[in-house]
Amino acid sequence: MKISFAAPRMPRSGTVVVAIMEDRKMSPHASEIDKQTGGALKRAMEASRFTGKPDETMMIPAPANMGDVSRVMLIGVGKPRLGDRSVRQNRGGVILAALNAVGETNAAFFVNAFKGKDTAMAAADLAFGAKLRSYRFDKYRTKEKPEQKPSMKELTLLVDGPKAAEKEFEPLDKIADGVIFTRDLVSEPANVIYPESLAAEAKKLASLGVEVEVLDEKQMKTLGMNMLLGVAQGSRKPARLVVMQWKGNPRAKNKAPLAFLGKGVTFDTGGISIKPAGGMEDMKWDMGGAGVVIGLMKALAGRKARVNVVGIAGCVENMPDGNAQRPGDIVKSMSGQTVEVINTDAEGRLVLGDALWYCQDRFKPQFMVNLATLTGAIIVALGHDHAGLFSNNEMLAERLVSAGKSVEEKLWRMPLGDAYDRMLDSDAADMKNIGGRDAGSITAAQFLQRFVNNVPWAHLDIAGMTWSKKDTAIVPKGATAFGVRLLERFVADHYEGK
Active-site choice (42, 117, 136, 275): 275
CA dihedral (376, 378, 383, 389) in degrees, to 10, reads -150
Reading phi first (left if > 0) and then psi (alpha if -120 to 50, else beta), residue 279 is in: left
First to last CA, the chain: 36
DSSP states along 462-492: -TTTSEESS--SS--SEE--TTHHHHHHHHH
Q: Which one of 133, 349, 485, 489 is the catalytic residue?
A: 349
Scanning 188-225, the segments in alpha helix (DSSP H) are 195-203, 217-223
Distance separating alpha carbons of residues 226 and 232, to the nearest angstrom: 10
CA angle centred on 352, ends 347 and 353, rounded to 5° = 95
List the beta bridge partners of residue 265: 316
Exposed e or buried b per residue across 152-170, where buried means at least 16 C-beta atoms within 10 angstroms of its C-beta: beebbbbbebbebbbebbe
Contact call for residues 92 and 75 (beta carbons, < 8 A): no
Active site residue 275: yes
The answer to whether residues 316 and 232 touch, using CB atoms and an 8 Å cutoff, is yes
Q: H or E segment at 351?
A: helix 348-363
Q: Describe the crossing of helices 288-302 and 162-187 by its angle, rounded to 10 degrees.
A: 160
Is 349 among the catalytic positions? yes
* Ramachandran region, residue 232 (left: φ > 0; alpha: ψ -120 to 50; beta: rest): alpha
How many whole angstroms separate alpha carbon 450 and alpha carbon 426? 14
**211 bridge partner residues:** 245
Residues labelled catalytic: 275, 349
